[in-house]
């Protein structure tokens, strides 16, 4: 087996970074007046992207790196998991913005 296939994959980390950046962009859209303040779909999509998908990616990376424990040649990359954990904590902070805005939309409408 080649050495290239025996390393931890970086795609969960890159996907986590992309999801977090996209969620920040969704949070900034109403602030920059690019969508109306009553556009609830940006908050729902942002809420789904930030903590939910980021934590799923963190768990999947953990699974991928620990399923090959019996392989002596497998090279783990613990920095990927640590970076995803930091992204998960950041995503909670971003999620608060989305939930706060969605709650304010529902309180005005309801």
Counting the structural domains of the chain, the total is: 1
Q: How far apart are CA 38 and CA 46, in angstroms?
A: 14
Structure tokens at 22: 């996209």
- 66 pLDDT band, cuts 50/70/90, is confident
Inter-residue contact 11 to 60 (CB < 8 Å): no
**Residue ranges making up the domain that contains 53:** 4-109
| 6-42 pLDDT tens trace | 777 788 899 999 999 998 888 888 888 777 766 778 8
Q: Using a CB cutoff of 8 Å and minimum separation of 24, what contacts does 68-75 make? A: 68/6, 71/6, 73/1, 73/3, 73/6, 74/6, 74/7, 74/8, 75/6, 75/7, 75/8
């Amino acid at each position: 087996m080649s050495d290239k296939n025996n390393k931890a994959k970086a795609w969960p980390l890159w996907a986590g970074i992309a999801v977090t950046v996209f969620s920040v962009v969704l949070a900034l859209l109403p602030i920059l007046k690019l969508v109306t303040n009553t556009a609830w779909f940006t908050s729902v999509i942002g809420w789904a992207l930030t903590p939910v998908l980021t934590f799923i990616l963190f768990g999947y990376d953990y699974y991928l790196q620990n399923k090959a424990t019996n392989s002596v040649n497998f090279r783990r990359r613990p920095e990927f998991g640590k970076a995803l954990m930091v992204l998960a904590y950041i995503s909670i902070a971003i999620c608060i913005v989305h939930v706060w805005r969605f709650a304010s939309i529902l309180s005005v409408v309801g």
